[in-house]
Amino acid sequence: MNFVFQKCMVRKAFPFIFLSLVSTSVMFSQDTLTTVTAEKGDGIYSLLRKHGVNPYEYYHEFIDINLDNLRDSIHLLEGKTYVIPKVQLDTVPVVDTIQKQASKVKEVDSKTFDIFGEDHKTVLSKSERLKGAIYYLVSGHGGPDPGAMAVYAGKSIAEDEYAYDITLRLAKELLSHGATVYIIIRDENDGIREERILEIDRDEVAYPDKEIPLNQLDRLQQRVDIVNDLYKKNKGAYQRLIVTHVDSRSKGQNIDVFFYHHEKSTNGKRLAESIHKTFESKYKLYQPNRNYSGTFEDRTSLFLVKKTHPAMTFIEIGNIRNEKDQRRILDPDNRQALAKWISEGVILDFEER
């Protein structure tokens, strides 16, 4: 089978690096936990990483512990003190000085993928819940076409950079659960980025290394051909396509994440519905005072929805020109949360098939 990545298997424990933070110890649930004060620019993922805690494993626990001090049930407040979840030493990699205190350290399966960038290339295995599943991920625009444009803090921002970053984060989540992933639009230089303003470039290519055409119809047809060829090659396997875009509307119109599918595709509808259902539950949990208005519906008029063979969903993340939506798109912690929520919906779809 031709995989999108060259896989390098590693089996070892990866130590976390502990950075200096202003911190104290408090008692919580009869265990000694650490508290930290959020500084300007901190997000949940970056705060946990700085304190040597795996944010992918402890994100939801952090929110549960600190819910009263979070804006919109998901954002840190500068100057507020937060409790860091207690890391179980017998189930996660630890540094040597802490390792001596653990009776047992579990080895962690991992693989490395350079396309995620130096800081994110290691993918730790979380489960095999998606074993046997194949996903084709297409981020909108790229190459000569930046997609929707806007200005933030006096600098230009482009749809393709943010759609690509979310797509990479989603790919990493899916891989961590045992899926096979093809990233169709690729930029070998970018990797997963933590900046708010992502630099615009034009060097994206189409899988495996095809130049992206300037003509819009040619660009779309190229993606259709790539996906359909791979679909034919992997005939008989469970295959799904996920397309990620950022919308552009009037500045005053903010929108929630919404999903499209082919009107005649039962599997595509179920995939879109599963992710939509996940987003609804997340909003109820983390933003109980805010209604989620995103929808899932058929939109066969979209070229990729109409022409591609795998069951698929087409995701619109938000309005790049709207100030509220820009917070969702530009904040790297929000981009990670979006990828995580989409992946949970994908897992729900796969396990309930």
Looking at the structure, do residues 120 and 201 belong to the same domain, yes or no? yes
User: Helix or strand or coil: residue 23?
Assistant: strand
Which residues form the domain of 5? 1-112
pTM greater than 0.85 (yes/no): no
Looking at the structure, do residues 69 and 199 belong to the same domain, yes or no? no
Looking at the structure, do residues 76 and 122 belong to the same domain, yes or no? no
Looking at the structure, do residues 179 and 321 belong to the same domain, yes or no? yes
Residue at which a domain ends, from 78, 93, 112: 112
| Number of independent structural domains in the chain | 2
pLDDT at 106 over 70: no
Q: How sure is the predictor about 96, in pLDDT bands with cuts at 50, 70 and 90?
A: very low
pLDDT at 215: 97
Residue at which a domain ends, from 112, 143, 169: 112
Looking at the structure, do residues 126 and 21 belong to the same domain, yes or no? no
pLDDT at 155 over 70: yes
CATH of the domain at 317: 3.40.630.40
Q: What is the mean pLDDT of residues 106-112?
A: 75
Q: Measure the CA–CA gap between 274 and 285, rounded to whole angstroms.
A: 17
pLDDT digits (tens, 9 = 90+) for 2-20: 445 433 333 333 333 232 2
Q: What is the mean pLDDT of residues 292-311?
A: 93
Looking at the structure, do residues 217 and 235 belong to the same domain, yes or no? yes
pLDDT at 164: 98
**More reliable by pLDDT, 16 or 306:** 306
pLDDT at 209 over 80: yes
Looking at the structure, do residues 235 and 201 belong to the same domain, yes or no? yes
Q: Measure the CA–CA gap between 302 and 261, rounded to whole angstroms.
A: 9
pLDDT at 107: 57
Looking at the structure, do residues 40 and 158 belong to the same domain, yes or no? no
**More reliable by pLDDT, 197 or 292:** 197
Q: What pairing do the DSSP bridges indicate for beta strands 108-112 and 8-12?
A: antiparallel
pLDDT at 265 over 90: yes
Looking at the structure, do residues 136 and 98 belong to the same domain, yes or no? no
pLDDT at 295: 85
Looking at the structure, do residues 82 and 166 belong to the same domain, yes or no? no
User: Helix or strand or coil: residue 280?
Assistant: helix
Looking at the structure, do residues 140 and 233 belong to the same domain, yes or no? yes
Q: Which of 15, 62, 136 is nearest to 336 (CA)?
A: 62
Looking at the structure, do residues 125 and 243 belong to the same domain, yes or no? yes
Q: Is residue 25 a contact partner of residue 32, using CB atoms and an 8 Å limit?
A: yes
pLDDT digits (tens, 9 = 90+) for 193-202: 999 999 999 9
pLDDT digits (tens, 9 = 90+) for 213-233: 999 999 999 999 999 999 999
pLDDT at 16: 30
Residue at which a domain ends, from 81, 112, 143: 112
pLDDT at 317 over 90: yes
Residues 6+ apart with CB under 8 A from 259: 272, 275, 276, 294, 295, 296, 297, 313, 314, 315, 316
pLDDT at 251 over 80: no
pLDDT at 132 over 90: yes
Q: How far is CA 17 from CA 50, 93, 94, in A?
A: 8, 11, 9
